[in-house]
A and B are shown apart, each in its own frame.
Chain A
């Protein structure tokens, strides 16, 4: 069922009488205060009206390029009414983008997007003149994906700014933005971005099909689109990626992915998403490969630690105690001596407070957020141990979990839930539970797909060739082909390994 919407102007076209048109328009805009009807005469003879939304337009452009030329165009009085509209467009209006429109709904759409509509008496067409101009946030460094090397600019909320940022990276006519409008009430502009020839046709069509199939009244952020087109709505894993950085989006669509830009959202969606992408950052490719490979491995390891550490602690202290080497056991036994709760309860409480602290830190303004973390660290960490409420090794485990979980921010949400799942299952079956939980996780991951691509590719199914950009980041001159799951075409010439001055004798 479609959401109900005022459909009374659907498929209606303009009347020839200016007065009636203005009346109709006023009714449609419900006399909203920001909708301005500027009535004037062209060449002191011809009645006309401009309809604009205040705040969406650049008033200077309106004055200079629209109102001024029209009002002082005395020559226009000699033009016969039939040819007046072409005449206005070709001779008078100095604005760069103009077009004729008769359909009222289209006109309304244009006005709402920040254009101005020029209605002329005795004409049943309107001229749409682009005078867009509204205040937006300027291009700034994204806070979520900060880098030391590489471009600092980030997407803003304005769609056009974003497309321009992207166009500046890829100066190629094959970079295509396809505009779709989604949201029955919000009429949000959505751009599907891809490089023609790199992204598979089926993929582009599938993305467009799913976006067009969306039937919702509002799209306030790219997240709405993401949740309405993803493959696995019941999985805790997000199978659509997002980025705030134009360079990242450029890299992804150059690998054959499709991007989705949503007006009003600084996040661009990238489709499809692979699990391994969550461990990649832009900087991996800008810095030299050796240390970055090492860091990649650390990220994988950190993720593994962050989801299994508390569960493994339970296994070691409550089930398979024989697994601990003796000296280790002695120190754990010494520090758990006298703590009142079993390990499972302790870890649940501490895990709960960890999430509370994190949430408090995120939601609070930054200065208060810092205070929260200090209080948390002091009270919950130090005091709980010295009061003998929790064992010191457990605090270490929770701290390690917290720190490692911040290393892969793209998997933070999944990680937090997985951690709880693994804690519960190993609280019941010990190491066997942990193992089986892990197996279930792997089966689940193996079954996930993102727009026709295996989510776990290239790990499951295994693509040996692509390991060079999975667990490590091989030198750039080794990336001959694009990822197999997307588009296996060649992207690098032969013999690109720099040779220095070796042959200069």
Chain B
């Protein structure tokens, strides 16, 4: 036993260099990363790095709570490593929460970034990813009027977008999950700098084969979100046909999606469906009666809006084989035999497959007043 203990001690002594030890104050904690394409076609990375000294309670004033570092290299990893040329310490990526990729780079391809993010153990695969118009560094440099660290504020903004339901939320693992299932196109969210102190997260960017190919309009994005059952909150705005009354419905619960079915005569169709429970949010009509939901064409108008949004997304998805809805995947999942038959000619057949819609809207309340004046 004594010998054994000695041996154990010896091992521990061997380890005295503590190979994996790193001190917090010898690390530069990266909060957000932006990727750009440099003029000489290299990858240019910009980091938003926490300035720990300026974050404490007794921090001396005047210091910014973050600073921006930039570097470039041949590959993503190369660019990131070269940042240490100028950084005082090693960069630390576990707390990086957002990846912003510029349009130019996205058009060239983001495969390297994706691979690094999933292969390396330090960056997290559930980091929010977005594509921006213009330069990513500009987004990171935006001085948002609220919050200490803009990158984290951007993340908050992205997460809050679920309330308005006008943009998808995508992370590297989401993207790879879709590509692994052979869905050709992923919809990324899009971030735009609207002014020096303002950013906007709205709309979608289509990435096919890890390359940016197209953008989605707001309606198309919305249709995409409906069909992928990603809308849990938000508004539906509709106008009744004959009386032109604007209705705003606040979604409380929603379940939506689509499924391929074979009709009796063997025809493949997609059945899109949405079950929406909502509350009347706004109703502009002075003559309104006590129960606005009884207004002629009220429900129909709302249904039409949802349908229109779905149709827009479907049109975009089937055109040019940008199947970001995963139509092929759904057929493969639910009708594997049919898919096997169609696999070879899928691209030609896809735009021809008909869609049927079934939108159920249930209104559970009219709010605190019964009548608008």
**A–B contact, 8 Å CB criterion (strictly below):** yes
A contact set with B: CB distance below 8 Å = 234, 317-319, 321-322, 326, 329-339, 342-344, 424-425, 427-430
List, in ascending order, chain A residues with CB within 8 A of B357's CB. Answer: none
List, in ascending order, chain A residues with CB within 8 A of B52's CB. Answer: 330, 333-334, 336-337
A265 to chain B, nearest CB (A): 32
Given contacts A336-B25, A429-B15, 20 further A-B contacts (CB under 8 A): A321-B27, A321-B92, A329-B24, A330-B52, A331-B55, A332-B24, A333-B25, A334-B59, A335-B56, A336-B23, A337-B25, A337-B52, A338-B25, A338-B53, A342-B23, A425-B12, A427-B18, A427-B21, A428-B12, A428-B16
Binary per-residue interface labels of chain B (46-59) against chain A in the complex, 1 for a CB within 8 Å, 0 otherwise: 00001011011101
The residue of chain B having its C-beta at the shortest distance from the C-beta of A432 within the complex is: B20
A424 vs B22: C-alpha distance in the bound complex, in angstroms?
A: 16
The residue of chain B having its C-beta at the shortest distance from the C-beta of A234 within the complex is: B1
Is the beta-carbon distance between B23 and A322 smaller than 8 angstroms? no
List, in ascending order, chain A residues with CB within 8 A of B22's CB. Answer: 318-319, 321
A396 to chain B, nearest CB (A): 14
List, in ascending order, chain B residues with CB within 8 A of A329's CB. Answer: 24, 29, 95
List, in ascending order, chain A residues with CB within 8 A of B152's CB. Answer: 326
List, in ascending order, chain B residues with CB within 8 A of A326's CB. Answer: 95, 97, 152
Is the beta-carbon distance between A336 and B24 smaller than 8 angstroms? yes
List, in ascending order, chain B residues with CB within 8 A of A430's CB. Answer: 20-21
List, in ascending order, chain A residues with CB within 8 A of B15's CB. Answer: 428-429
List, in ascending order, chain B residues with CB within 8 A of A330's CB. Answer: 29, 50, 52, 55
Task: Please judge, given known A-B contacts A321-B22, A424-B12, A425-B12, whether A337 and B56 are in contact too, CB under 8 Å.
Answer: yes
**What is the size, in residues, of chain B's interface with A at 8 Å between Cβ atoms?**
27
Q: Which of B55, B97, B152 has the most CB of A within 10 A?
A: B55
The residue of chain A having its C-beta at the shortest distance from the C-beta of B11 within the complex is: A428
Whether B122 sits at the interface, judged by CB under 8 Å, is yes
A318 vs B21: C-alpha distance in the bound complex, in angstroms?
A: 5
A79 to chain B, nearest CB (A): 70
Is the beta-carbon distance between B53 and A337 smaller than 8 angstroms? yes
Is the beta-carbon distance between B56 and A322 smaller than 8 angstroms? no
B289 to chain A, nearest CB (A): 51
> Can you spell out 21 A-B residue pairs with CB atoms less than 8 angstroms apart?
A234-B1, A317-B24, A318-B21, A318-B23, A318-B24, A319-B22, A321-B22, A322-B122, A330-B29, A333-B24, A333-B50, A333-B52, A333-B55, A334-B55, A334-B56, A336-B23, A336-B25, A337-B52, A342-B21, A425-B12, A430-B21
List, in ascending order, chain A residues with CB within 8 A of B95's CB. Answer: 322, 326, 329
Task: Please judge, given known A-B contacts A330-B50, A333-B29, whether A319 and B20 are in contact too, CB under 8 Å.
Answer: yes
A326 vs B92: C-alpha distance in the bound complex, in angstroms?
A: 12
- Number of A-B pairs, beta carbon distance below 8 Å: 74
CB < 8 Å neighbour of B18 from A333, A335, A336, A428: A428
Whether B244 sits at the interface, judged by CB under 8 Å, is no
A321 vs B1: C-alpha distance in the bound complex, in angstroms?
A: 36
Whether B41 sits at the interface, judged by CB under 8 Å, is no
List, in ascending order, chain B residues with CB within 8 A of A425's CB. Answer: 12
List, in ascending order, chain A residues with CB within 8 A of B57's CB. Answer: 334
Q: Which of B12, B52, B57, B59 has the most CB of A within 10 A?
A: B52
Whether B94 sits at the interface, judged by CB under 8 Å, is yes
List, in ascending order, chain B residues with CB within 8 A of A333's CB. Answer: 24-25, 29, 50, 52, 55
B21 to chain A, nearest CB (A): 5
A336 to chain B, nearest CB (A): 5
List, in ascending order, chain B residues with CB within 8 A of A342's CB. Answer: 21, 23
The residue of chain B having its C-beta at the shortest distance from the C-beta of A324 within the complex is: B95
B203 to chain A, nearest CB (A): 27
Interface residues of B in 98-133 (CB under 8 A from A): 122, 124
Is the beta-carbon distance between B21 and A319 smaller than 8 angstroms? yes
The residue of chain B having its C-beta at the shortest distance from the C-beta of A314 within the complex is: B21
A424 vs B95: C-alpha distance in the bound complex, in angstroms?
A: 27
B127 to chain A, nearest CB (A): 12
List, in ascending order, chain B residues with CB within 8 A of A322's CB. Answer: 94-95, 122, 124
Is the beta-carbon distance between B94 and A321 smaller than 8 angstroms? yes
B296 to chain A, nearest CB (A): 53
List, in ascending order, chain B residues with CB within 8 A of A424's CB. Answer: 12
The residue of chain B having its C-beta at the shortest distance from the C-beta of A323 within the complex is: B94
List, in ascending order, chain A residues with CB within 8 A of B92's CB. Answer: 321
A333 vs B53: C-alpha distance in the bound complex, in angstroms?
A: 8
A160 to chain B, nearest CB (A): 43
List, in ascending order, chain B residues with CB within 8 A of A429's CB. Answer: 15
The residue of chain A having its C-beta at the shortest distance from the C-beta of B12 within the complex is: A428
A315 to chain B, nearest CB (A): 10
A335 to chain B, nearest CB (A): 6
List, in ascending order, chain A residues with CB within 8 A of B27's CB. Answer: 321
List, in ascending order, chain A residues with CB within 8 A of B12's CB. Answer: 424-425, 428
A425 to chain B, nearest CB (A): 7
B359 to chain A, nearest CB (A): 40
A268 to chain B, nearest CB (A): 32
